[in-house]
Structure 1
Amino acid sequence: YLKSAEEMRELFAGLPQACDNTTAIAERCNVKIDLKTQHAPQFEPPDNSTPEDYLTKLCYEGAKERYGEITEQIKDRLDRELDVIQSKGFAGYFLIVWDFCKYAHQNNIPIGARGSGVGTIVGYCLGLCDVDPIHYDLLFERFMDPARNEMPDIDIDICQAHRGELIDYVRQKYGHVAQIITCGTMKARAVIRDICRVLGVPQGQADRLAKLVPFSLDMTLDKALETEPELKETYDQSEQTRKVIDIGRKLEGLARHASVHAAGVVIADEPLTNFVPLYKAAGSEDIVTQFDGPTVEKVGLLKMDFLGLKTLSVLERSCQLVKEIHGEDIDLEKLDHTDAKVFELFSAGMTKGVFQFESGGMQNLLMKMKPDRVEDLIAANALYRPGPMILIPDYIDRKHGAKWSLPHPIMTEVLEETYGIMTYQKQVMRICNRLGDIPLREAYTLIKAISKKKSKIIAKERGRFIEGCVSKGLTNQQAEEIFELIERFAGYGFNKSHSTRYAFVAYQTAYMKAHWPVEFMAALLTYEMDNTDKIVDYIAECLQMGIEVLAPDINESGVDFTPLYEQPAEGESHKKVIRFGLAAVKGVGGKAVEQIIAARKEVGAFKSLFHFC
């Protein structure tokens, strides 16, 4: 606890000047934090041009490479985005992201933007992501509001195995990089357990009391008392319970412990101590901010999300194995997205290990949907969530021929891709824009207002929407009904940019599983070797795929799971085999495995236990 001045004086009775000096220093402190100035690092173009000119040059070079011919549609979209980005002074930000993505590409590190950043043609031309926003009709306005000066947020997925390498590159290039703190707070159940421990309540009683609190992300002690009669009864009858919960109400929501944000990184080209307090976590050399992510952004620093994605590491490893064993190079960003074998795998629900599509519920959805195009995977990704799940049967029925109609051709055109069902936020934005004459950026503001139930904004835009609909030939009643649909589904609508990028990654994993099953499953098992349940699950999947997983062998196993192609008997096909990795054996450390393999290289195969020892 924080000691009072009197307690501190008593503690330092022999050194009164220590307390006097502490007070004197405190009185001199007068910190004013600047919340207006942006401190993003400056990008220096190698040709000495301005960041704006260099960004434009790179984008047009990228557009030529991506599209071949730069049509009027591509030029208009590119110029519009560049105009917004440059008018707000964000050219340098895009160049910084381009720079480390270029480093990743040059060093064969799998990387790609996710979230709304996928919806910008500038990012596509710079190589930040390989999803064409024009082809998939992704909106720039969903990524960056032209009317606001907020720093755009490009989240980046990186191969998990190389995340540290990329952060080191950024640190060397810009000089000052730190990871970002995140604070775990005292939730309702946890605060009860903590207080019981301090008050000496027996563990059994503490556990029983904590379990009376219903499990929900937004649960509080007050809500628990209202919704759980047994907890309320215990609170009324037991003085000890009342004491625990009353103390808990005061502590609930306070920070309990600090940890490092899974993806957040802050970048500057001058010392970070000029702007934020820093610390090193116990037992680590990583430098971490003492401000959380939102506060880091408020003080004007550049925050980026570098999320280590295990799936990208699995894909990288499986491609390496194909190259080592078969001598074939696979470019996952240039796959044929109409591959029948891949869609057969999806339609059969054989998606164990396939990114975002391996749960039992998703497998059932796929077997009913029978996807035959990437757009179906994007929709499945967006619909398989609480709320929009109620629309899945309609999507499946309509995909397989059920009739559907909408009150206006504009709605039919906008929703044709998803068979008349509002699935993505961008569809709602398009309808508001084209049918209701609401500008796209304001349409996104309306969607956010609906999700947060801001009635004033909703009421204001309702009138404008209905007016626009009536001017296009709809009746007042039809316009009201359409707006009610928007109100009902706008809160569910998913970010299509995010869903599209992750559908691409899912397609890549399904491609490797369909065409290179042994290499893919070996890579998947290698990256799950710390998770026994997953190992058991994926070995069962291997057996179902006709792949035998052999037990670990000190003479044949490597560190990782290894694909083997045994010589077949005459008239038989190649036998598909994976050898269990030594590092996946519980209790066998990495150093021990390295020594075993080094000894094996030196003396050859081990002939006996004594020879091995």
Structure 2
Amino acid sequence: AIANEPRFAEEAEKEPIVQTLLDTAQKLEGLYRHASTHAAGIVIGDRPLSELVPMYRDPRSDMPVTQFNMKYVEQAGLVKFDFLGLKTLTVLETAVKLIRRRGVDIDLARIPLDDKETYSMLSRGEVVGVFQVESAGMRKALIGMRPDCIEDIIALVALYRPGPMENIPTYNARKHGEEEMASIHPKIDHLVKETQGVIVYQEQVMQIAQELSGYSLGEADLLRRAMGKKIRAEMDKQRERFVSGAVERGVSKPQADFIFDLLAKFADYGFNKSHAAAYAVVSYQTAYLKAHYPVEFLAASMTLDMSNTDKLADFRQDAMRLGIEVVAPSVMTSFRPFEVGENKIFYSLAALKGVGDAAVEHIVA
């Protein structure tokens, strides 16, 4: 602001106090405003962390926390992992246990990823309880996409966010042959073929830089970081490196500049494919169980959401749509979790308003 606004310099010359304020502001710029703890970041080292980084105890959680931020933690040679809790995994575990009671042992890691019944259900938008895709917007996107492979679900998870979602109609139109896939450049078209010519993943940016401009994998990762963080000075350096490398490999300078700008635009919404794939697989697993074992899947989902009356109403309505009987709660047939019978779900006593776990344990004892 000081460099771009000449009136700052003019006022500083007139008023010493203004110069003092500007000097102080520049010294304060970049200093930490407050300390907070990352919601899911876990640092792992090969020795006690207190030997490597400064530590303190978070007064809110009483957990030991590094006083370094994640950038300095990496510079200290440590690795930060994000460990996120996911209730859906417990839903899957509970459903598998219920299915096992009927003599069917399911290994979710080995279910087929090309199950037609699962994709047919997703294409109809019957997604109540299906991880990541049960919102109204996702349901509409699924119906338009009509997914038939796991790659479609991965792409949808990555695309369905502010910014990239504007590419969903293009993806769908090209997938169904309603629009021809536009060529970015013959040397890199194969890298975006699986996403219908749309750049969706950070990994695609890295691959394009490698193939078109001769980046090493490490250099490509630096490009990805620069684009993701919008570091202007670093972006200018990367443009020079990218364009010169592409020109050396037979790409015209205007084409190289165009492709770099395309990648830079992508930086506004780039998504990590491995992250999207992990979520998409869990989404598919929930869809597979719902398509083949709806009674057990819905019972497990209701058990894990028994305190959410709106969700319970959605699950019950979906069960009725599927012809599954939801048996009213009874001290004779109900327990704490939602239980299953032959095409039946027995309503949980603990899901009743005002009935706590202690009362349920006393009733069913």
Counterpart of 2:139, as a letter, is Q
Q: Are the aligned partners of 1:437 and 1:464 in contact in 2 as well (CA < 8 Å)?
A: no
Equivalent of residue 595 in structure 1, options 342, 351, 362 = 362
Aligned-partner Cα distance in 2 for 1:292–1:579: 51
Counterpart of 1:278, as a letter, is R
Equivalent of residue 353 in structure 1, options 129, 141, 155 = 129
Aligned-partner Cα distance in 1 for 2:39–2:313: 27
SS at match of 1:410: coil
Q: Are the aligned partners of 2:336 and 2:348 in contact in 1 as well (CA < 8 Å)?
A: yes
Counterpart of 1:595, as a letter, is H
Listed as ranges, the matches of 1:111-510 within 5 Å are 263-265=40-42, 276-278=55-57, 287-289=62-64, 291=66, 294=69, 297=73, 304-324=81-101, 326-401=102-177, 402-510=179-287
Structure 1 pair 337/389, CA: closer, same or farther in 2 (3 Å)? same
* TM-score, normalised by the number of residues in structure 1: 0.50
Count of residues in correspondence between the two structures: 328
Note the alpha carbon deviations across 1:424-480, whole angstroms, 9 max, x for none. 011111111110122222222222222333222222221222222223333222222
* TM-score, normalised by the number of residues in structure 2: 0.82
Aligned-partner Cα distance in 1 for 2:80–2:198: 36
Q: What's the CA shift for 1:280? A: 7.2
Identity %: 45
Counterpart of 1:500, as a letter, is A
Counterpart of 1:294, as a letter, is N
Q: Are the aligned partners of 2:230 and 2:267 in contact in 1 as well (CA < 8 Å)?
A: no
Structure 1 pair 406/353, CA: closer, same or farther in 2 (3 Å)? same
Q: Are the aligned partners of 1:564 and 1:577 in contact in 2 as well (CA < 8 Å)?
A: yes
Q: Let me know the Cα RMSD of the aligned residues.
A: 2.5
Q: What's the CA shift for 1:483? A: 1.3
Aligned-partner Cα distance in 1 for 2:167–2:222: 24
Report the equivalent of 2:19: none
Note the alpha carbon deviations across 1:387-431, whole angstroms, 9 max, x for none. 111111110010011212315322111111111110101111111
Structure 1 pair 426/558, CA: closer, same or farther in 2 (3 Å)? same
Q: Which moved more, 1:302-311 or 1:520-529?
A: 302-311
Aligned-partner Cα distance in 1 for 2:38–2:207: 35
Unaligned 5+ runs, structure 1 = 1-252, 566-575, 599-613
Report the equivalent of 1:186: none
Aligned-partner Cα distance in 1 for 2:248–2:44: 50
SS at match of 1:277: strand
Note the alpha carbon deviations across 1:96-138, whole angstroms, 9 max, x for none. xxxxxxxxxxxxxxxxxxxxxxxxxxxxxxxxxxxxxxxxxxx
SS at match of 2:345: strand
Q: Are the aligned partners of 2:55 and 2:65 in contact in 1 as well (CA < 8 Å)?
A: yes
SS at match of 1:584: coil
Counterpart of 2:104, as a letter, is E
Structure 1 pair 452/590, CA: closer, same or farther in 2 (3 Å)? same
Aligned-partner Cα distance in 2 for 1:479–1:269: 44
Counterpart of 1:586, as a letter, is K
Structure 1 pair 587/455, CA: closer, same or farther in 2 (3 Å)? same
Q: Are the aligned partners of 2:187 and 2:211 in contact in 1 as well (CA < 8 Å)?
A: yes
Equivalent of residue 577 in structure 1, options 339, 344, 354 = 344
Counterpart of 1:357, as a letter, is V
Aligned-partner Cα distance in 2 for 1:551–1:442: 62
Aligned-partner Cα distance in 1 for 2:227–2:48: 42
Counterpart of 1:463, as a letter, is E
Structure 1 pair 490/276, CA: closer, same or farther in 2 (3 Å)? closer
Listed as ranges, the matches of 1:543-562 within 5 Å are 543-562=320-339
Q: What's the CA shift for 1:549? A: 1.6
Q: Are the aligned partners of 2:203 and 2:273 in contact in 1 as well (CA < 8 Å)?
A: yes
Structure 1 pair 280/452, CA: closer, same or farther in 2 (3 Å)? closer
Aligned-partner Cα distance in 1 for 2:218–2:50: 37
Q: Which moved more, 1:289-298 or 1:326-335?
A: 289-298
Structure 1 pair 290/493, CA: closer, same or farther in 2 (3 Å)? closer
Q: Are the aligned partners of 1:447 and 1:491 in contact in 2 as well (CA < 8 Å)?
A: no
Counterpart of 1:277, as a letter, is Y
Aligned-partner Cα distance in 2 for 1:315–1:347: 21
Note the alpha carbon deviations across 1:51-96, whole angstroms, 9 max, x for none. xxxxxxxxxxxxxxxxxxxxxxxxxxxxxxxxxxxxxxxxxxxxxx
Q: Which moved more, 1:477-486 or 1:387-396?
A: 477-486
Unaligned 5+ runs, structure 2 = 1-32
Aligned-partner Cα distance in 1 for 2:188–2:205: 10
Report the equivalent of 1:219: none
Q: Are the aligned partners of 1:315 and 1:509 in contact in 2 as well (CA < 8 Å)?
A: yes
Aligned-partner Cα distance in 1 for 2:271–2:309: 34
Structure 1 pair 316/262, CA: closer, same or farther in 2 (3 Å)? farther
Aligned-partner Cα distance in 1 for 2:349–2:297: 18
Q: Are the aligned partners of 2:339 and 2:347 in contact in 1 as well (CA < 8 Å)?
A: yes
Aligned-partner Cα distance in 2 for 1:443–1:349: 38
Q: Are the aligned partners of 1:348 and 1:367 in contact in 2 as well (CA < 8 Å)?
A: yes
Structure 1 pair 591/273, CA: closer, same or farther in 2 (3 Å)? farther
Structure 1 pair 479/500, CA: closer, same or farther in 2 (3 Å)? same
